[in-house]
Chains A and B, each alone.
Chain A
Amino acid sequence: MLEYVIRRSGLALVILLLAVTLLFAMIHMMPGDPASILLGPKASPELKAALNQRMGLDQPLLVQLARFYADLAQGDLGTDVFSNRPVLEMVLEQLPYTIVLVLAAIGGASLVGIPLGCYSAIRHNSLLDRLVGVMSVAFIAIPSFVIALYLLLLLSVKWRWFPAMGAGDSGDIVDQARHLVLPALALGLGWVGYIARLVRTSMLEVMEENHIRTARAFGLSERTIIVHYALRIAVLPTVTILGLGIGTMLSGALFAEIVFSRPGIGKLLHEGVLTRNYPVVMGSVLMTTAFFVLCTLISDVINAMLDPRVRDGESS
């Protein structure tokens, strides 16, 4: 098991480095000269040159990349062009909001979606199964920002059940939780149906397998068979997809954070891109990518914990 985690972590590190390099290249391919955007159209060439020099933009791209890595190795993500604050500090300030949001969304979606999918499989073609089927397709099809806007209109503006803006007072857990409900719903609702469909499909498949027939032939209770013998196998693909789904969710979080005026890495990134604030963009993207890579790593480790064949490096 330990060997698997080490092996998998090494791979995660390589993925992260590759992703960061790619992102670095993409950011520099974005049209728009940061100096003219920051200083305005009337800035003198000298001023622009000075800023470019301060940001290191006058250096060749490879040198910039090397410098970026060198700083990164020392835990330095550069400084914000406007406020002169260290980017690392800014990112670490915002990241927890996004992580909490994404985890609440995916956790809630799994808590509802997995039992729902399991039930749909066991009572397949029942009324609930059909209902879940139709709802899933509907919710998958609607983009999360549309759901977010309607949630705002109904639950917040019309019925005033939940606050619409911000993340709540720091220190007040209840208030923060109340502020979390709408954005998490907006982000996670589409996933409930998706997870339910995934679990249903693999559960139906697993329940037809020979070892389930064996378990039945030994008179094990239906409950034991479903929970311990079947679901454990049926959730494996879902766990993998959830790990990857965090990536999609992180971009969804950007919408949710803008719509709900919620602090978070998405909002920071959005502002950074608009102003071509390279260090902030790079820093937020780096941390988001790191979080995403970490999530896929965790989902792989969970898979290995659930399935001994993965642990032994055998394809299941």
Chain B
Amino acid sequence: MSAPVLNISNLSVNYSTDRGTLHALRDVDLHIQAGRIVGIVGESGCGKSTLISTIIRLLSANACVEEGEVLFQGEDLLALDAKAMRKLRGNELAMVFQDPMTSLNPVLSIGRQMLDIQYRDDGSKAEKKSRSLHMLERVGIPDAATQLDRYPHHLSGGMRQRVAIAMALMTEPSLLIADEPTTALDATLEIQIIQRLRQLQRDVGCAVLFISHHLGVISELCDEVVVMYAGEVVESGGTRQVFDAPKHPYTRGLLECDPASIQASDNILPVIPGQLPDLTDPPPGCIFQPRCDRSVAQCSSQRPRLDGQGHRAACFVATS
């Protein structure tokens, strides 16, 4: 097995809010091997976005990294100064954001934005332009030369997200972080973009951290999957293993609730009863215990750990 590109261990992040300290991430462990695609799945508020913001060090001002380390190619990102961090961003570490309608600058042309992000290269303007052009063609944008002179509002959501992907992959990063890149798009576009992303990932050879709450997309694209719930990793492993034989009760619930897996004859959508715990005052034991239908006495007093290698779950009653 090759060396991990990204190695997150023991990461805890808090937000200070009016209601007190909000424990957004607790003891998160995550490893990404070079060239692999790892998916993070979880519902809204499970800490996916906080995790990404921590990795690229764009956390909001009221956030604080309590403990842990984020090793990127062996270097702790949390210990880097602003200048060294900036050197990695958009270079070795690239990012595609969720909402293509607002993630590109509205007053600068596509060409100008693609030119600006190549500021590290010494090449001439013409060279940079032809690289932008080539990249737009690779993500499947028709008539790429014309698009360079156009502005984001001239393009559809799907096209804008292709531009965002082209920009992110232009510098051939070692790790691409994609934060729900297809959530804002309709289903047919979603599949097209996913396929394109998969192909480009193979060409560039980068690792991908892919965040989504769409289970179908995760199972289609990812080699490994990490399931998050309320700021903790509850299960991780190979995509097939996790999807075919989920260990954690939450993962099972999540898979059962996926509309894609529901028989047409069932008239009721299955749900996980209860709601997300209050993260300013998380339960002392297992984070999922209040909603779990299989909890035992141990669950409400002791926190289960995510130990071992391969397919594993943070659960006392997990079926192995």
CB within 8 Å of B: which residues of A? 209-211, 213-221, 224, 228-229, 232-233, 306-309, 312, 314, 316
Contact = CB atoms under 8 A, between A and B. Distances in A.
Name the residue among A214, A221, A308 with the largest chain B CB count within 10 angstroms: A214
Given A210-B102, A214-B97, A233-B106, A219 B88 contact: yes
A220 B116 contact: yes
B86 interface: yes
Contacts of A213: 58, 97, 103
A229 B89 contact: no
Interface string B27-43: 00000000000000000
A219 B90 contact: yes
Contacts of A312: 153-154
Nearest to A310: B107
Contact of A307 (B91, B107, B116, B119): B107
B242 interface: no
Given A209-B102, A308-B109, 12 more contacts: A210-B97, A211-B104, A213-B103, A214-B95, A214-B104, A216-B58, A217-B97, A219-B90, A220-B117, A228-B116, A309-B151, A309-B153
Contacts of A232: 107-108
B108 A229 contact: yes
B77 to A, nearest CB: 13
Interface of B: 56, 58, 86-91, 94-95, 97, 99, 102-109, 116-117, 119-120, 151, 153-154, 164, 167
A306 B103 CA distance: 19
B89 A219 contact: yes
Contacts of A211: 102-106
Contacts of B88: 219
A306 B104 contact: no
Contact of B105 (A215, A217, A221, A314): A215
A204 to B, nearest CB: 13
Identify whether the interface residues of A are mostly helix, strand, loop, or mixed. Answer: helix
A217 B102 CA distance: 14
A211 B160 CA distance: 12
19 contacts: A209-B102, A210-B103, A211-B103, A211-B106, A215-B105, A216-B58, A217-B58, A218-B95, A219-B89, A220-B116, A221-B119, A224-B119, A229-B108, A232-B108, A308-B107, A308-B109, A309-B106, A312-B153, A312-B154
A19 B89 CA distance: 55
Contacts of B119: 220-221, 224
Contacts of B154: 312
A305 to B, nearest CB: 10
A232 B89 CA distance: 23
A219 B87 contact: yes
A266 B89 CA distance: 57
B107 A218 contact: no
Contact of A220 (B90, B109, B151): B90
A218 to B, nearest CB: 3
A100 to B, nearest CB: 32
A233 B154 CA distance: 18
B117 A218 contact: yes
Given A209-B102, A229-B105, A233-B106, A217 B95 contact: yes
A219 B105 CA distance: 15
Top 8 nearest A-B pairs (CB, nearest first) are A218-B90, A219-B89, A219-B90, A210-B102, A217-B95, A308-B151, A218-B117, A211-B105
A314 B107 CA distance: 12
Given A214-B103, A217-B58, A314-B153, A224 B116 contact: yes
Contacts of A307: 106-107
A233 B106 CA distance: 9
Nearest to A215: B105
A309 to B, nearest CB: 5
Contacts of B99: 210
Contacts of B106: 211, 233, 307-309, 316
A264 to B, nearest CB: 37
A292 B108 CA distance: 30
Task: Indicate the member of B58, B97, B103, B105 with the most A CB atoms within 10 Å.
Answer: B105
B90 A217 contact: yes
B86 A233 contact: no
A312 B106 CA distance: 12
Contacts of A216: 58, 89
Contacts of A233: 105-107
Contacts of B58: 213, 216-217
B86 A219 contact: yes
A309 B167 CA distance: 22
Contacts of A218: 89-90, 94-95, 116-117, 167
Nearest to A308: B151
Nearest to A311: B151
Contact of B153 (A215, A221, A224, A308): A308
Contacts of B120: 219
B152 to A, nearest CB: 8
Nearest to B109: A308
Contacts of A229: 105, 108
A47 B59 CA distance: 83
Contacts of A306: 107
Contacts of A215: 105
A210 B99 CA distance: 8
Nearest to B171: A218
A67 B169 CA distance: 69
A211 B116 CA distance: 14
A183 to B, nearest CB: 36
Nearest to A210: B102
